[in-house]
């Protein structure tokens, strides 16, 4: 009998990063209070019906439930409150995403001006649909950050 070895299904996606960014007339800390809440993305993503959390801090799981019945389970990989950035990985979903890694960061551009940047690297389950998939991911992130502008603008 062959001895079992450590393995995992979690792999980082390959591909070009898709980046969405907005500049908002508010302090960086105010912006981070919105986009930096791993458990609070439903505040600016209307497609989300609710978010439930398992655990807290790095390693916690976010269960996103969408109004259309879709779900995504994501793990918080890193978080730096002072630097205002965090990363996460999708570990299960019903959305046609094979692998997804994302980062959210906020930077101060002055006393009352800040930038939020959402970077996503993702692979579709169906490799043949990559073009439409990338546009879907880009549009999703752009709409979400536009909503942040409306919330804080």
Q: Is the pLDDT reported for residue 127 higher than 80?
A: no
Cα distance between residue 52 and residue 123, in whole Å: 25
At 129, give phi and psi (nearest 5°): -100, 30
pLDDT tens digits along 99-108: 999 999 999 9
Q: How far apart are CA 69 and CA 48, in angstroms?
A: 10
Q: How confident is the model at residue 7 (pLDDT cuts 50, 70, 90)?
A: confident
What span, in angstroms and rounded, lies between the C-alpha atoms of 120 and 95? 15
Q: Which of 107, 77, 93 is nearest to 140 (CA)?
A: 93
Q: Which residues pair with 115 in a beta bridge?
A: 23, 107
Residue 126 pLDDT greater than 90, yes or no: no
pLDDT one-digit tens code per residue, 112-121: 999 999 999 9
pLDDT, one tens digit per residue, over 46-96 is: 999 999 999 999 999 999 999 999 999 999 999 999 999 999 999 999 999
Separation between Cα atoms, residue 139 and residue 153, nearest integer Å: 20
């Amino acid at each position: 009998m062959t001895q079992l070895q450590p393995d995992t299904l979690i792999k980082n996606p390959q591909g070009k990063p898709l980046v969405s960014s907005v500049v908002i007339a508010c302090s960086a800390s105010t912006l981070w209070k919105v986009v930096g809440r791993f458990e609070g993305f439903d505040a600016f993503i209307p497609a989300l019906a609710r978010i439930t959390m398992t655990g807290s801090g790095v390693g916690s799981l976010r269960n996103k439930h969408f109004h259309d019945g879709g779900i995504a389970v994501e793990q918080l990989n890193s978080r730096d409150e002072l630097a205002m950035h965090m990363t996460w990985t999708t570990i299960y979903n019903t959305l046609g995403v094979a692998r997804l890694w994302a980062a959210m960061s906020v930077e101060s551009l002055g006393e009352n001006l800040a930038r939020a940047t959402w970077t996503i690297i993702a692979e579709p389950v169906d490799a043949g649909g990559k073009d439409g998939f990338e546009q879907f991911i880009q549009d999703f992130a752009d709409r979400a950050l536009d909503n942040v502008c409306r919330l804080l603008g």
